[in-house]
Structures are given as structure tokens and as C-alpha cells.
């Protein structure tokens, strides 16, 4: 696996509406953990593991520290930011060989794996 600059899909009005609707639907949920479980932790680092099936999403959570993500597989991953967070929601493309990415501290985020890549315009 090699690091490459993240690639993001352009948000069509329909995709933006889906992400905004998701954010509104889950706005009142309690914040949860960053991922499924901690694999390792000491005084300098915490290593989380997250497994998401297509269409599954994580709990609304906070990144109180900077994170370094290692994405082993997938197609698309969405970051849904709540209204007023100061950040835009996004859809990232996961390369076939996976990727690594630095994620800066954010107040709240909800990430999920999209069920399928939207069809390309003809």
C-alpha cells in the first residue's frame, strides 16, 4: 500500500442532498467511539480498528487528536459533517490498493461506506 493524495468525488446536487439528509436524520444521536475497538494504546498512540460493510456507518464521533487513517479496501467513503461544523461533507475514492490519509482534528464527524459508486454521467 502506498500513500496517494486523496481523491474526492464532485458532489452532485443529488449526492449533497443525500449527505445533508443523513446529517439531519442523525443530528440528535449521542457521540460514540472513533471506531469499532482499540487494538493498541500507550501514552503516545492509540490504534483503532473500524470495519464497515457497504452502506454501514460509524457513530457520530469527535476527533480530539489528529489521526492517520489506513484504508485497506473499499470503493467510496463518506464523511458527513453536521450543520454548523465549519466543514463540508465529502465522498472520498478509495484506490484499489488502499490508501493512507492524515485526518486533522474535527469537532464531530460521521463516516460511512457508501453502498456503491454513483453511476458516471453519460
pLDDT of 112: 58
Is residue 59 in some structural domain?
yes
- pLDDT tens by residue, 60-100: 887 777 777 888 888 888 888 877 778 888 898 888 888 88
Strand partners, 61: 109
Which residue range is the domain that position 11 belongs to? 7-113
- Check if the beta carbon of residue 99 is closer than 8 Å to that of residue 51: no
Is residue 1 in some structural domain?
no
Confidence band for 5, pLDDT divided at 50, 70 and 90: confident
Is residue 118 in some structural domain?
no
Is residue 119 in some structural domain?
no
**14 is written with which cell numbers?**
443529488
- Check if the beta carbon of residue 48 is closer than 8 Å to that of residue 34: yes
Is residue 92 in some structural domain?
yes
Is residue 35 in some structural domain?
yes
Report the SS3 class of residue 61: strand
Counted domains in the chain = 1
Is residue 122 in some structural domain?
no
| Residue scoring higher pLDDT (31 or 1) | 31
Among 64, 31, 36, residue whose Cα is nearest residue 48: 36
pLDDT, averaged across the chain: 79
- What percent of the chain stands above pLDDT 70? 82
Pairing of strands 106-113, 61-63: antiparallel
CA distance to 4, 30, 36, 42, 58, per residue, from 51 (Å): 21, 20, 7, 22, 9
As a whole number of angstroms, the distance between CA 49 and CA 115 comes to: 20
Is residue 13 in some structural domain?
yes
CATH code: domain of residue 74: 2.60.120
In this structure, what are the phi and psi dihedrals at residue 94, rounded to the nearest 5 degrees?
-95, 120
pTM over 0.75? The answer is no
- Check if the beta carbon of residue 102 is closer than 8 Å to that of residue 66: yes
Amino acid at each position: 500500500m502506498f500513500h496517494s493524495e486523496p481523491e474526492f468525488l464532485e458532489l452532485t446536487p443529488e449526492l449533497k442532498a443525500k449527505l445533508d439528509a443523513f446529517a439531519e436524520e442523525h443530528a440528535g444521536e449521542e457521540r460514540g467511539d472513533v471506531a469499532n475497538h482499540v487494538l493498541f494504546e500507550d501514552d503516545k498512540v492509540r490504534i483503532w480498528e473500524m470495519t464497515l460493510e457497504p452502506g454501514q456507518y460509524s457513530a457520530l464521533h469527535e476527533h480530539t487528536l489528529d489521526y492517520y487513517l489506513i484504508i485497506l479496501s473499499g470503493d467510496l467513503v463518506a464523511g458527513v459533517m453536521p450543520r454548523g461544523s465549519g466543514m463540508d461533507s465529502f465522498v472520498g475514492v478509495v484506490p484499489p490498493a488502499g490508501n493512507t490519509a492524515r485526518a486533522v482534528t474535527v469537532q464531530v464527524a460521521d463516516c460511512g461506506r457508501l453502498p456503491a459508486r454513483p453511476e458516471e454521467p453519460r
